[in-house]
Amino acid sequence: MVVGDFPIEVDTMVVGAGPGGYVAAIRAAQLGQKVTIVEKGTLGGVCLNVGCIPSKALIQAGHLTEYAHGNEELGIKSENVTVDFSKVQEWKGKVVNKLTSGVEGLLKGNKVDIVKGEVYFVDKNTAKVMDEKNSQTYTFNNCIIATGSTPIEIPGFKFSERVLDSTGALNLNEIPEKMVVIGGGYIGTELGTAYANFGTEVTILEGTKDILGGFEKQMTQTVKKRLKKKGVKIITEAMANGAEETSDGVKVSYEAKGKEETIEADYVLVTVGRRPNTEEIGLEQVGIDKDDKGRIKIDKQCRTSVDNIYAIGDIVEGMPLAHKASYEGKVAAEAISGEKSEVDYIGMPAVVFSDPELATVGYSEKDAKDAGYKVKASKFPFAANGRALSLNNSDGFMKLITREEDGLVIGAQIAGPNASDMIAELGLAIEAGMTAEDIALTVHAHPTLGEITMEAAEVALGTPVHMMK
């Protein structure tokens, strides 16, 4: 018998089991669809296996290492801090395995059929799923494509044992003495910070005028201040030319300020962006439209140019955020079920797990003005917050963006400890159409970092208590 002669029929096929795909599959199943999800790698995709989760685990281990050295200002000093990096990696692996096995349990619990293999589209209702041995044909009424993205490889820096992408950097079996990071975006900054906390001498080469492009200069300044304290060297407007591997390391050549320079390190980490995984899956067979960056074009329901095929996550326009992919996955699954769900990105947060953390949601002051709003920007510093001072972690600020005529909250930016958690309240405020007065009237527990949100709202109202007007 030839495997694949008889097509398997499903209501909805989901291609990719990352944070977009598996969430879409579960929501579609909850809405009564018969769902098959196809994944060529490990359930959870990049995020759970070699992205969001393991990087945050490594960042946390780096923070604990930094804390273990003590703080002379607080009268705490430790001379003999050691790190068993194999144990760190073992622990990180346990965190990842727990979550990926949890995803499998959730999919099976929602009666989603899990298939291993690669997908190639034959037409708008048919795809072949192939593994190393077999090819099976599937027919579907609807399909959600969630194939994610892959690190970009640049000329002169072919990925190898010493030239790493983010996956390689997360899986090192040693703490490097020296590391060069090419690209000062969120991935490079996060991983560079983590290794700096472990004691690695880190140099960041960034091609533009500043690291963490897309965030306001005042926010990035707080991060650069901390990086400098950790001994991290940041070289901006630097063009990386090539890497020459040696017997025990790598020599990186770059150009900055009109001069050719070289720097030696144990490893070089290349984090200059990611490209969408939209090639070689048969999209041209179906006639699905893409933009000049290879991303699939979608409407407000995540529907592609082919009406029964949807696309979500890194393969569509927007920042490559796991929570964005999950959100789009729910919208697509609901649209397939006939609901009127549409994407609305105004409350979409973006977070960098730097030191201190950065977070933003809604409009920045500049973007709001460019959009034609008359706005008020109200700042409150972490240095005026009791909890931040008691944590000895008071660098940074919150900025609240409100509409002048009615105080409506339309944006917020945070640079400071726990910014990643604090931004959720501001996202809720934007989604719920709350004003600065609504936030100011909400009693926040004392002493907490959350009080900063209330204080920033009071600044917007012109009645700040814990800072002078």
User: Annotated active-site positions, please?
Assistant: 446
190 is in an annotated binding site: yes
The answer to whether 397 and 313 have CB atoms below 8 angstroms apart is no
Q: Tell whether residue 337 is among the known ligand binding residues.
A: no
One-letter identity of residue 153? E
Closest CA to 283 of 131, 116, 127: 127
> What's CA 400's distance to the chain center, in Å?
23
DSSP state of 149: E
Q: Would the annotation count 147 as a binding residue? A: yes
Write the single-letter amino acid at 16: G
Alpha-carbon 46 to chain mean position: 11
Q: Is 228 annotated as a binding residue?
A: no
406 is in an annotated binding site: no
Q: Which residues of 48-60 are buried (b: 16+ CB within 10 A; e: fewer)?
A: bbbbbbbbbbbbb
Q: Binding site annotation covers 183?
A: yes
| Residue 187 labeled ligand binder | yes
Q: How far is CA 10 from CA 130, 305, 307, 415, 468, in A?
A: 17, 21, 17, 47, 63
From the CB of residue 401, how many other CB atoms can be counted at a distance below 10 Å? 28
Q: Which two three-digit tokens encode residue 109?
A: 């619990």
- Tell me: is residue 185 an annotated ligand-binding position: yes
Q: Is 70 annotated as a binding residue?
A: no
Q: How far apart are CA 171 and CA 90, in angstroms?
A: 10
Residue position matching structure tokens 């495997």? 3
Residues 6+ apart with CB under 8 A from 161: 245
Backbone conformation region of residue 257, classed left if phi is above 0, alpha if psi is from -120 to 50, else beta? left
Cβ pair 329, 298 in contact under 8 A? no
Q: Tell me: is residue 184 an annotated ligand-binding position.
A: yes
DSSP string, 152-184: PPPTT---SSSEE-HHHHHT-SS--SEEEEE--
- 8 Å CB contact between 70 and 76: yes
Give the containing element (helix H, strand E) for 369.
Answer: helix 365-370
Q: Is 148 annotated as a binding residue?
A: yes
3-state helix, strand, coil in the chain (%, to 5): 35, 25, 40
314 annotated as a binding-site residue? yes
Return the sign of the alpha-carbon dihedral for residues 227, 233, 239, 243.
negative
Annotated ligand binding at 237? The verdict is no
Could you give the 3-state DSSP secondary structure of residue 64? helix
List the binding residues.
56, 147-149, 183-190, 206, 273, 314
List the binding residues for FAD.
56, 147-149, 314
List the binding residues for NAD(+).
183-190, 206, 273
